[in-house]
Structure 1
Amino acid sequence: MQIVNFIINNILTQASITIALIAMLGLVLQKKSLGQVISGTLKTLLGFQVLSAGSSVIVGSLLYFGDIFKLAFHTQGIVPSIEAINGQAMNDLGLGSDIALTFLAIFIFNILFARLTKWKYIFLTGQAILWMATMTTVFGYFAGLRGFVLIVVGGIVGGFFAIAMPAIAQPIIRKVTGSNDIALGHFCTIGYLFEAGVAKIFGERGENKKSIEDIELPKAFDFLQDTYLSVMVVMVPLYLITAIIAGPDAVDTGSQHHVMFAFLQSIQFVVGVYILLSGVRLLLAEIVPAFRGIAMKLVPDAIPALDCPVFFPYSPNAVILGFITTTIGTLIAMVALPVFGLATILPGMLTNFFAGGTAGIFGNAVGGRRGAIIGGIAHGFFITLLPALLVTAFGQLGFVNATATDVDTVAAALLYAWIFSPLLKMLNV
């Protein structure tokens, strides 16, 4: 068990190591020279680490923005945190080993399903698999499952999500990327498909469909065609206005004026985007060719399902639009859901950016600008509604004010709570 825990904690949950090893395996299977194997492996590792560094910079900036946002607009409620649920499950319930083994089972079943079915997707976002393992283990445990059965059922459910979500999203991903080389491996995909559906109904169609990426600007604003400058023009006012409303005592800025601090944090956000996109370009240049070795040998025609930031360079304007519209939707839901007796869920700026930005890509691809706007607001409401429903399910298990954000993992948890658990109790299992 110690060896399994070491592999999971130090390799499989470390996405950069996992993807680098998979790239190495692909190059070895293609019988590349030693130099090519070393070069491809290290460049893959470097690319993912650069991507992660960019994400970390963005996260730091968004955490600050989330703090001043709550104080500026006096929001109170539940902050979704799968990390807190994972910690409570391992420490209070003693489910650490079960979660680890379920993680491994999800990975194994994903590969088996890819080998045996027409869906040839290998889910490579290790952290997302860990959160799925946490949800299936916790809800499976309270449904009465134990030991081997708990792990296998969790592995099957998680493995199904790991292969089905990339498969269902792939038609839109092909439209966005123009190829079938990569897929989306992120457990917020139900939300992305929800936005795409809304965009299809309410968005633009045929010749009337206009992408947010093709927006025509006056000559004086040609500089906004630059991705980083366009992001800056949106984020700087957003940060400054929020900081001014929050006031100088909202967060500790040391000796620096709070408005200048907010300005520099908004610039840090743009820096993070620059680093992230650089890492994406480096990663894709290595992982796609290397993955062909696995496709040829282990899982014929296998397609790597990668984390959502990989797709940001394909539609950068839609990412920013998705972030803004999703945030609007989460604010509407925060106010509206308590009217119906549901919990107040605070907007999570990290989820709003990464999930909202990806959803914006889907909405724009399906319904153009109008689809991305209307779909984005609907997406924000949707990804707040599901965690609010999950609060009730967690409350029945003894978790106080607990919920999570990734809607695929929330859907898996509700599948256990609403279907598996009642069914098992009815059968007296």
Structure 2
Amino acid sequence: MNGILNLFVSIVQSPAMLVGLLAVLGLILQKKKATEVIQGGIKTFVGFLVLTGGAGILSNALTPFAKMFKFALHVQGVVPSNEAVVAIALVKYGSVTALIMLVGMIVNILLARFTKFKYIFLTGQAMLYVSCLAAVILVSAGMGSGWQTILLGGLFEGTLLTVTPALCQPFMRKITGGDTVAMGHTGNIGYAIAGWCGRLFGNSKHSTEDIEFPKALGFLRDSTVSITLLMGIVYIVLAIVAGPHFVETKLSAGTNYIIYAFIQAGTFAAGFAVVLQGVRLILAEIVPAFQGIAMKLVPNSKPALDVPIIFPYAPNAVLLGFFVSFLVGTISMFIMVGMHTTVIIPGVVGHFFCGAAAAIYGNAFGGRRGAVIGSAVNGLLISWLPLYILPVLGDLKMAASTFADTDYLIPGILLGKLGSFGSVALTCGIIGFTVAVILVSALMKSSKQAENK
């Protein structure tokens, strides 16, 4: 039993393996030739490895950025990091988390099959983290680690991961120019809010991607060149503020601090280029393969994929969103210092990925202004909400880290507040959430039928 559970957890923890197997299943269901099945499965598998490798390069390039920032400003506090907080929690809640994840996947597939929300969530690490969040809050609320916790946690996770891509899909259609893929990330609630704010307060006539460069600066249209130069300026300024002694003794192993800073900027640009290549590989294979699953198992379903999938559609918005979100996080940090609350130090990785996506969503219907507003609003959410989730995470020693994205923070806070009223309230709340989603789906079907009459 432990061996099977370990195999399952290992597959789900590897998005490349999970999505590669789903591509194989889709192609088999379409009765493709064995050679096409093998080719599609391998290219999808490798595409995800390219994508995650690029994301890893980006994250590694942002690590010294965060260290220089923290040293230059002399601040201590809580750094939101999903990876760090889950690593702590899994020591105590590993088995419960894995079983919640299994139930959550089944609930997601069932809801996609029988409701109007046709989204199969395929971002494995996000599924694991949501499972862990559910386990921590349910056990901390006194539910124990038995079958009730596993079923309720899976019901909560499966419902959440089915409905949040639906919130984002109107914007995904605009961003991608189609309706074949969905957003499968744990910042979906924030991205949808960013998109709505962009639509309300933005101006769609002026897209971030329409920024005109003078002819002499036309070379900046190449994203690799522009990202390297822009990030180079940012890294070098931060390295100068942190000082050569800190950079050369703590980060660069003796390499000149200016050279080191520019190399990190180039590494960041390289990571971005790798991400774009991975996205192209995945989209070329997973969408056609997924049609097999849609036709046979879950009709009209869409794969919900990780956040970098939208970066190629608005590279200017990616950089704009990062800088706006990180600036909002930095200003919020200083306000917290003044208020003498727990200080949430802006997590560079979180502000990059979530800020970039929020700007792309804001830009979809609101142009440049929408991108700025959307990323600023999302930046406020991921800067201040961590203060409110800390009290509901039980007695785990998580003082140095906490969850980072809106889809952990908002549902987690609500779930924790319910838990404070006891296990009955928590049980009713989770079941009520799933029932509400099913009722909304039924109402959507009824209204569509009425329109057709």
1:57/1:401 Cα in 2 relative to 1: closer, same or farther (>3 Å)? closer
Report if aligned partners of 1:77, 1:345 keep a CA contact under 8 Å in 2. Answer: yes
Deviations 1:387-418 (A, max 9, x none): 11112333676653542102101222212211
Counterpart AA for 1:6 = N
Sort the Cα spacing of 1:338 and 1:190 in 2 relative to 1 into closer, same or farther, 3 A. farther
Partner of residue 244, structure 2? 248
Query: Counterpart of 1:119 in 2: which secondary structure?
Result: coil
Letter in structure 2 aligned against 1:2: N
**2:361 and 2:55 mapped to 1: Cα distance?**
21
Structure 2 letter corresponding to 1:111: I
Residue 187 of structure 2 is matched in structure 1 by 188
Which position in structure 1 is the counterpart of 2:296?
A: 297
Amino acid at match of 1:220: A
Q: How far is 1:80 from its partner?
A: 1.8
Q: TM-score, normalised by structure 2?
A: 0.89
* Structure 2 partner of 1:385: 384
Query: Residues 10, 401 of structure 1: CA spacing in aligned structure 2 closer, same or farther, 3 A cutoff?
Result: closer
**In 2, distance between residues paired with 1:338 and 1:30?**
58
Paired residue for 1:323?
A: 322
1:97-176 alignment, distance < 5 Å: 97-146=95-144, 147-176=146-175
Contact 1:236 1:263 in 2 (8 A): yes
In structure 2, the residue matched to 1:228 is 224
Per-residue deviation, residues 313-365 of structure 1 (Å, max 9, x unmatched): 01111111110100011112112235556421001111111111111101111
Q: What is the RMSD of the two structures over their aligned residues, measured on CA atoms?
A: 1.9
Q: Deviations over 1:44-64 (max 9, x none)?
A: 111111111111111110011
Provide structure 1 residue ranges, at least 5 long, that are not aligned to the other structure: none
2:206 equivalent to 1:210: yes
Q: Is the 8 A contact 1:85 1:402 kept in 2?
A: yes
- Paired residue secondary structure (1:408): helix
Asked if structure 2 preserves the Cα contact closer than 8 Å seen for 1:121 and 1:305, the reply is yes
* SS of match in other structure, 1:422: coil
Distance 2:337 2:69 in 1: 20
Hey, what's the Cα distance between the residues in 1 that align with 2:423 and 2:369? 45
1-structure distance, mates of 2:10, 2:134: 22
Change (3 A) 1:53 1:242: same
SS of residue in 1 equivalent to 2:142? coil
Amino acid at match of 1:28: I
After alignment, is 136-145 or 249-258 more displaced?
249-258
Matched, 1:8 2:8: yes
Asked if the contact 2:119/2:162 (under 8 Å) is kept, the reply is yes
Separation of aligned partners in 2, 1:59 and 1:297:
38
1:119-172 CA-partner distances (Å, limit 9, x unpaired)? 110000000000000000110011222311101111111111111111110000
Q: What is residue 28 of structure 2 aligned with on the other side?
A: 28
Q: Which runs of 5+ in 2 are unaligned?
A: 429-453
Q: 1:102 to 1:229 in 2, by over 3 A?
A: same
- The alpha-carbon distance between structure 1 residues 402 and 62, as it changes in their structure 2 partners (threshold 3 A), is closer
SS in 2 for 1:108: helix
Residues 1:397 and 1:17: Cα distance change in structure 2 (over 3 Å) = closer
Q: Quick one: which amino acid aligns to residue 390 of structure 1?
A: I
Q: CA contact under 8 A between 1:232 and 1:270: conserved in structure 2?
A: yes
Are the counterparts in 1 of residues 392 and 416 from structure 2 also a CA contact under 8 Å?
Answer: yes
**In structure 2, C-alpha distance between the alignment counterparts of 1:318 and 1:108, rounded to whole Å:** 36
- 2:415–2:426 CA contact under 8 A, matched in 1: no
User: Structure 1, residues 227-257: CA drift from partner, whole Å, max 9, x if none?
Assistant: 2122123211001100111111223312310
* 2:219 maps to amino acid: F
What is the CA-CA distance between 1:198 and the residue it aligns to?
A: 2.6
Which residue of structure 2 lines up, in the alignment, with residue 53 of structure 1?
53
CA distance in 2 between counterparts of 1:286 and 1:40 reads 6
**Which whole-Å deviations, capped at 9, do the CAs of 1:3-43 have from their partners, x for residues lacking one?**
34322332111000000000000000000001101111111
What amino acid is aligned across from residue 280 of structure 2 in structure 1?
A: R
Rounded to whole Å, the distance in 1 between the matches of 2:347 and 2:419 is 29
Task: Tell me the distance in 2 between the aligned counterparts of 1:48 and 1:87.
Answer: 23
Matched, 1:261 2:260: yes
Moved more, 290-299 or 212-221: 212-221
The CA distance in 1 between the partners of 2:401 and 2:59, in whole Å, is 22
**Amino acid aligned to 2:257:** H
Give, in angstroms, the shift of residue 87 of structure 1: 3.4
What one-letter code is carried by the residue in structure 2 that aligns with 1:310?
A: I
Residue 428 (structure 1) shift: 12
Task: Tell me if structure 2 keeps the 8 A contact 1:187–1:408.
Answer: yes
- Partner Cα separation in structure 2 for residue 388 and residue 220 of structure 1: 47
Is the contact between residue 329 and residue 379 of structure 1 (CA under 8 Å) also seen in structure 2?
no
Whole-angstrom CA distance in 2 between matches of 1:123 and 1:21: 14
Residue 202 and residue 246 in structure 1: after superposition, are their counterparts in 2 closer, same or farther (change >3 A)?
same
Q: Is the 8 A contact 1:196 1:363 kept in 2?
A: yes
SS of the residue aligned with 1:118? coil
Aligned CA distance change for structure 1 residues 341 and 191 (closer, same or farther; 3 Å): farther
Q: CA deviation at 1:380?
A: 1.1
- State the distance in 1 between where 2:225 and 2:399 align: 43
1:308 — aligned with what?
A: 307
Instruction: State the distance in 2 between where 1:398 and 1:353 align.
Output: 27
